Amino acid sequence: MFWPAVQGFWLALTSWDGLSAPRFVGLGNFSDMVSDPIFRTALKNTAIWLVLFGGLSVVGGFGMALLLQKERRGVGIYRAALFTPVVFSLVVTALIWRVFYQPDGLVDTVFRTVGLGNFIRPWLADPDTALYAVIVPALWRQIGYVMVLYLAGLKAVDPALYEAAKVDGASAWQRTRYVTIPQLKGVNSVVLSVIVIDSLRSFDIVWSMTKGGPYHSSELLSTYMYSTAFQSTQLGYASALAVVIFVLALAVILGYLIRAFREET
Amino acid sequence: MTALAADRRTFLKGLGLLGAATLVPGCATSSKSPGSGSAASGELALQSNLSSEQAKAAMEKLVAAYNKTGGSQVKLNTVASEIFRTQLPTYLTSANPPDVYTWYAGSVADSYAKKDLLLDVSSVWDSMGNYSKAMQTLSTSSAGQKIFVPTSYYWWGMFYRKSNFAKWGVTPPKTWAEFVAVCKTIQSKGIPPIGIGLGDTPWVASAWFDYLNIRINGAPFHRQLLAGQGNFTDPKVKAVFTKWREVLPYFDPKGKSFPFQEATSALLAGKTGMFLIGTFFADSAPKDALDDIDFFQFPIIDPAVPVAEEAPTDGYFASKKVQDVDGTKKFLTWLATAEAQEIYVQNSSGTAIPANPDGKSADTPLVRKGKAMIEGAAEITQFFNRDSSDALQPTADAALTKFLDKPDQIDKILADWQAAAQKVFKA
């Protein structure tokens, strides 16, 4: 299980086209990265993706969970509806949304109906909108998933705490802020790990919608790694990119865990 | 409430099944691993990228016909063309590779021969004396061995609907000035004159680069540039883009969003005027519409430059590691016969022309005209990736789509392109 990972680290120090023997270049791949404009775009986009995709899916998922936690008539239908996108494979999701984004497709029609016809552009082919146009369907799917995690967390909160807070005269906002959120700490760390891992490996949806294009404007580190490895067959450089992704994921998650431990002790 | 909960549970169960169902085909495609066509002796594995419906059916007929001749039995394994392209290096380097592959002639085949991965098929060429000199050159590696067996070629041209041109009152242009005039007329009718399809298939833009470069700077310069002996920041390359800019306002703005198949539909539906494309587009066009289709040669820009045309050559090569060398060569020899190539032409969309001069192409005015254009050309080029390598193509895709979007930044685009290409040539 660990051998391929170790081998990846070794390949990151080589120049390799997949055919001839790997040639050792030391840290050459990493110094190339510094001057590689596509790498910088990919890094920036990955950060945007982490913040927007991660942030909005936490906010959205948590909000939906709060709204739908109470057992009311028909609430199950709403929960199921929000969860449905999760069961579709990402590639299928991408295909559906590509149809929406087509010229004169659903998105354009909606914009025209609400009188925003001037804003219409080739969503996936415009470098200014491509990345955001891909984040939307990714969110559409992720929010349902995060909601389920939070719903489970909310179910585990002891109702006695709410009653006690109510008796003390706490408003609905105060109950959420001082009871619910602190109680969800355990779920939060799970959600955070899931989100960070999901955003760093978000590959399939970007690849099937834009392939990182137009001209690398929606490139993430993961799609850039794939295209350098399998389209340009620069496997050494691609391995170096993989190492960067690995270090980033590890740093974010370790950072959170260390903070969480410190708070506990 | 409980009844509702139970309903929900069954509903979710149903969803789960649905999810599982969508997962299963996903698994099936991903398990298509390299070397799946490993051959026992007496059986040859043929790895084919001809995955579009008509071409695939033609390949099945072709293999069935060979298997009746009593040589080694050939097993056809068709892989989606995009997957095939990315997996080809893996196939060739695996321990037990498939034997024979469909692929392209020219420097793209030579790039594999340089790594010593291809079988020397010089003895197959003993029976191919009637093939043209150009075909021989394309099939010879830089080490002087024959490594490729060409079986067909096709052409690129500016395709249009005859009825629409008549309606708009335009005739096929011959020179660049006439071409610009035609664009102006079509635009005045409210139709985007030049169709293109870059979403998913950005390589289609390379046809414009190739043609403008061979018309302005000539084929030898073009080939050297793609072989890494030139520089994309050369003023001669910039001249290509200056010319291209003159017709940028006539491109269909929607073309950035959809692939060439949809650009084909747009052309057939009269939503665009003309489309620079290879004849393979016919695979995604309804047969009845094809009767109304005609093409003209890419306009001449500088009459002093010898006329070159893009005529990509398709065919086969074999892995160096084949076990049954005689059987493989026998199969390749058969593929080079006029008879075999006619079987393919008759059963596919019919726009490919047999590489064997004795082979009969489909007898339509369109194919006759295409064949005459190629035969009259002073020089032949293949296509961007075929004249360079599959690794250089993505650098062109990025540069050209960016140019179509932001022509002002041409100097920066060319500098970036040169840097990206440099990396590929060094790798």
Give the H or E element holding residue B163.
Answer: helix B162-168
Do residue B415 and residue B279 come from a single domain? yes
Euclidean distance between CA atoms A233 and A222, whole angstroms: 15
Structural tokens at position A157: 């909160």
Q: In this predicted model, what pLDDT tens digit does every residue of B140-177 receive, in sequence order?
A: 998 899 999 999 999 999 999 999 999 999 999 999 99
Name the residue among B175, B242, B169, B176 with its Cα closest to residue B209: B242
Hey, which residues does B146 pair with through a beta bridge?
B140
Q: What is the average pLDDT across B351-360?
A: 88
Residue A198 in domain: yes
pLDDT > 90: percent of chain B? 50
Compute the mean pLDDT over every residue in chain A, rounded to the nearest whole number: 84
- The lowest-confidence range among A59-73, B31-45, B98-112, B239-253 is B31-45
- Chain A contacts of B4, Cβ < 8 Å? 73-74, 76
Alpha-carbon span B386 to B281, nearest angstrom: 18
Residue A16 lies inside a defined structural domain of this protein: no
Residues B303 and B316 in one domain: no
| Residue A112, domain member (yes or no) | yes
**Spatial separation of the C-alpha atoms in residues B376 and A34, rounded to whole Å:** 50
Cα separation, B421 vs A71, whole angstroms: 61
Instruction: List, for residues A148-201, the tens digit of each pLDDT value.
Output: 898 888 888 888 888 888 888 888 888 888 888 888 888 888 888 888 888 877
Residue B111 falls within a domain, yes or no?
A: yes
What pLDDT score was predicted for residue B275?
A: 94
Minimal CA separation from B3 to chain A, in Å: 12
Query: What is the mean predicted confidence (pLDDT) over B228-233?
Result: 91
Check whether the bond before B220 is cis (ω within 30° of 0): no
- Count of domains observed in chain A: 1
Q: Please report which confidence band the pLDDT of residue B427 belongs to, taking 50, 70 and 90 as the band edges.
A: low
Q: Is A77 close to B8, i.e. CB distance below 8 A?
A: yes
Q: Are the C-beta atoms of B180 and B245 separated by less than 8 Å?
A: no
> B121 is in which domain, residue-wise?
43-154+312-375
Does the CB of B113 have a partner CB in chain A at under 8 Å? no
Q: Residue A236's closest chain B neighbor by CA?
A: B427
CA distance B105 to chain A (A): 19
Residues B357 and B398 reside in one and the same domain: no
Q: Two tokens at A139?
A: 């969110």
Q: State the average pLDDT over residues B329-340.
A: 92
Same domain, B169 and B305: yes
Chain-chain contact of B398 with A19 (C-beta, under 8 angstroms): no
DSSP summary character for residue B361: P
Of B391, B399, B420, the CB nearest to A233: B391
A7: in domain:
no
B93 and A CB contact within 8 Å? yes
Tokens of A204: 């399939």
Q: Choose the closest CB to A233 out of B5, B19, B89.
A: B89
The predicted structure's pLDDT at residue B170: 92
**pLDDT for residue A74 is more than 70:** yes
Same domain, B87 and B115: yes
Q: How far apart are alpha carbons A57 and A73 in whole angstroms? A: 26
Say if B401 is an interface residue toward chain A (CB within 8 Å). yes
Strand partners, B379: B308
Mean pLDDT over the full length of chain B: 85
Taking CB atoms and an 8 Å limit, are B115 and A232 in contact across chains? no
Look at B26-35, B101-110, B381-390 and tell me which has the smallest mean pLDDT: B26-35
Q: Does B401 sit within 8 Å of A213, measured CB to CB?
A: yes
Q: Domain end: B349, B375, B401, which one?
A: B375
In chain A, the residue whose alpha carbon lies closest to the alpha carbon of B406 is: A127
CA distance B205 to chain A (A): 13
Q: What is the mean pLDDT of residues B94-113?
A: 89
In a domain, A113, yes or no: yes
Query: Which residues in chain B are contacts of A203 at CB distance < 8 A?
Result: none
Residues from chain A contacting residue B258 (CB–CB below 8 Å): 102-103
- Compute the distance between CA of residue A105 and CA of residue A108 in angstroms, rounded to an integer: 5
pLDDT of residue A1: 65
Residue B221 CA to chain centroid, in angstroms? 22
Rg (CA), chain B: 23
Q: Which of A17, A76, A84 sits opposite B427 (nearest CB)?
A: A17
Nearest-neighbour CA in chain B from A227: distance (Å): 9
State the distance between the two ends of chain A, measured CA to CA, in whole angstroms: 34
Task: Please give the pLDDT value at position A27.
Answer: 83
Q: Is the pLDDT of residue B28 over 70?
A: no
Same domain (yes/no): B160, B141:
no
Same domain, B249 and B293: yes
Closest C-alpha to A144, from B168, B15, B146, B5 = B15
Of B19, B405, B423, the CB nearest to A234: B423
Could you read off the pLDDT of B275-321 as tens digits, one per residue? 999 988 887 677 777 788 999 999 999 999 999 999 999 999 999 99
What does the alpha-carbon distance between residue A97 and residue B256 come to, in Å, rounded to a whole number? 17
Contacts of B423 in chain A (CB under 8 A): 32, 232, 234, 237
> What's the CATH number where B360 sits?
3.40.190.10
Q: Say whether both B119 and B201 belong to one domain.
A: no
Rounded to an integer, what distance in angstroms lies between the CA atom of residue A240 and that of residue A11? Answer: 8
Residue length of chain A = 265
Helix orientation angle between A37-49 and A130-155, rounded to the nearest 10 degrees: 30
Residue B337 in any domain: the answer is yes
Long-range CB contact pairs, A96-100, < 8 A, 24+: A96/A137, A97/A136, A97/A137, A97/A140, A97/A209, A98/A124, A98/A208, A98/A209
Please indicate, yes or no, if residue B349 is contained in any of the structural domains: yes
Q: Confirm whether A12 is domain-assigned.
A: no
The confidence score (pLDDT) of residue B182 equals: 93
A76-109 confidence digits (pLDDT tens):
888 888 888 888 877 888 888 888 888 888 888 8
State pLDDT tens for residues A205-220: 888 888 887 888 888 8
- Which of B18, B257, B405 minimises the CB distance to A127? B405
Q: Do B397 and A213 touch (CB under 8 A)?
A: yes
Going by the DSSP 8-state scheme, the letter that residue B291 receives in this structure is T
**Which structure tokens are listed for B248?**
């940028």
Give me the CATH number covering residue A233.
1.10.3720.10
Q: Is residue B262 part of a domain?
A: yes
Q: Check whether residue B322 and residue B302 sit in a common domain.
A: no
Measured between alpha carbons, how far is residue A121 from residues A126, A208, B24, B130, B201 in Å? Answer: 7, 20, 36, 54, 19
Whether residues A231 and B391 touch (CB distance < 8 A) is answered with: yes
| B31 confidence band (pLDDT: 50, 70, 90) | very low
Amino acid found at B194:
I
Report ipTM (2 d.p.). 0.75
Residue B6 lies in a domain: no
**CA–CA gap between residue B352 and residue B371 (Å, rounded):** 10
Largest Cα–Cα distance in chain B?
85
The reported pTM is: 0.79
pLDDT at B15: 43
Domain assignment present for A186 = yes
- DSSP letter assigned to residue B143: T
Give me the domain span that covers residue A240.
27-264
Residue B243 located in a structural domain? yes
Residue from B7, B257, B393 to probe the interface with A (highest A Cβ count within 10 Å):
B257
Choose the closest CB to A89 out of B26, B90, B402. B26
Residues 6+ apart with CB under 8 A from A138: A53, A90, A202, A205
| pLDDT attached to residue B19 | 41
The Cα of B247 is separated from the nearest Cα of chain A by a number of Å equal to: 20
For residue B187, the model assigns a pLDDT of 92
Residue B7: pLDDT above 60?
Answer: no
Classified as helix, coil or strand, B157 is: strand
Task: Tell me if residue B52 falls in helix, strand or coil.
Answer: coil
Is residue B327 domain-shared with residue B296, that is, in the same domain? no
Mean pLDDT of B127-135: 86
